[in-house]
């Protein structure tokens, strides 16, 4: 689907919904729709509010209520991650899975036919399936590198500390030897 036709289709869906629900046809909702259709990736309500054009600011509650409608109309897909609701464009986008970095929160789309197959064939007794999205949690390469570096530093420090400890033991041995020598001199500890 071409980008313009997706935009037209999304506008038509929203217009139909607003008319059907006898809601006020405010320009804010369409302005938010425009921003949502252009956004890449996964964003919170706060992010989306920040993406609004400077000459067309909208209130946080308006963004919240509009995103609820867009989710209901399947124009966007919502993800509840780490207690934050993140939205991504769904209209004109193939359904997909995600992998998420638990350290920095980076979300990456994942298209995987094997996961589709497994989810599609999963047995769900007394439950009719509609959709399945997989989330794979782990660490991105950047965070993994930072964590490895930290681990290495800790290990180095541990080794450094151990050497100090060993030095202390060595000093104690030396002191004891000296003490024994002194005792010998005064005639204690002979034989
Ligand atoms: Zn990360
Ligand atoms: Zn996605």
96 CA from centroid of ligand 2 (Å): 6
Q: How far is the CA of 184 from the centre of ligand 1 (A)?
A: 65
Those residues whose C-beta lies under 8 Å from the C-beta of residue 82, and which sit 6 or more positions away, are 105
| Three-class DSSP category at 55 | coil
Q: Which of 105, 108, 107, 133 is nearest to 119 (CA)?
A: 133
Q: CATH second-level architecture of 1-93? A: Orthogonal Bundle (1.10)
CA–centroid distance, 186 to ligand 2, in Å, is 84
Helices then strands, each counted (H, E), the chain: 6, 5
Q: How confident is the model at residue 61 (pLDDT cuts 50, 70, 90)?
A: very high
47 C-alpha vs ligand 1 centroid, how far in Å?
A: 19
Tell me the CA distances in angstroms from 133 to 1, 80, 117, one per residue in order.
Answer: 23, 12, 12
For residue 3, report the distance from its CA to the centre of ligand 2, in Å. 18
Mean pLDDT of the 34-57 span: 94
Ligand 2 centroid – CA 24 distance (Å): 31
pTM above 0.85, yes or no: no
Which residue in the block uniquely carries the two structure tokens 């899975």?
97
Give the number of the ligand closest to the Cα of residue 77. Answer: 2
In the CATH scheme, what is the code of domain 96-138?
Answer: 3.30.1490
pLDDT tens digits along 103-137: 999 999 999 999 999 999 999 999 999 889 999 99
Domain ranges of the chain: 1-93, 96-138, 141-191
Neighbours of ion ligand 2 (CB under 5 A): 88, 109
d(CA 76, ligand 2 centre) in Å: 10
pLDDT digits (tens, 9 = 90+) for 132-176: 999 999 999 999 999 999 999 998 887 788 777 787 887 899 899
> In this model, does residue 70 exceed pLDDT 80?
yes
Mean pLDDT of the 39-68 span: 94
CA-CA-CA-CA dihedral for 109, 91, 79, 48, to nearest 10? 100
What does the alpha-carbon distance between residue 161 and residue 158 come to, in Å, rounded to a whole number?
5
């Amino acid at each position: 689907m071409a980008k313009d036709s997706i935009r037209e289709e999304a506008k038509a869906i929203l217009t139909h919904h607003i008319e059907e629900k006898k809601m006020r046809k405010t320009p804010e909702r369409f302005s938010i729709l425009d921003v949502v259709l252009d956004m890449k990736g996964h964003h919170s309500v706060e992010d989306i509010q920040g993406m609004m054009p400077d000459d067309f600011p909208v209130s946080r509650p308006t963004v919240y209520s509009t995103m609820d409608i867009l989710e209901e109309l399947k124009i966007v897909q919502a993800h509840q991650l780490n207690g934050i609701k993140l939205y991504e464009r769904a209209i004109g986008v193939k359904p997909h899975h995600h992998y998420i970095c638990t350290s920095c929160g980076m979300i990456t789309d994942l298209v995987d036919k094997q996961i589709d197959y497994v989810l599609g064939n999963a047995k769900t007794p007394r439950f009719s399936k509609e959709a399945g999205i997989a989330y794979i949690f782990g660490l991105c390469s950047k965070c993994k590198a930072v964590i490895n570096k930290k681990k290495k530093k800790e290990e180095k420090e541990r080794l450094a500390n151990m050497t100090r400890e060993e030095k202390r033991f060595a000093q104690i041995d030396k002191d004891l030897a000296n003490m024994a020598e002194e005792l010998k001199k005064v005639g204690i500890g002979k034989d």
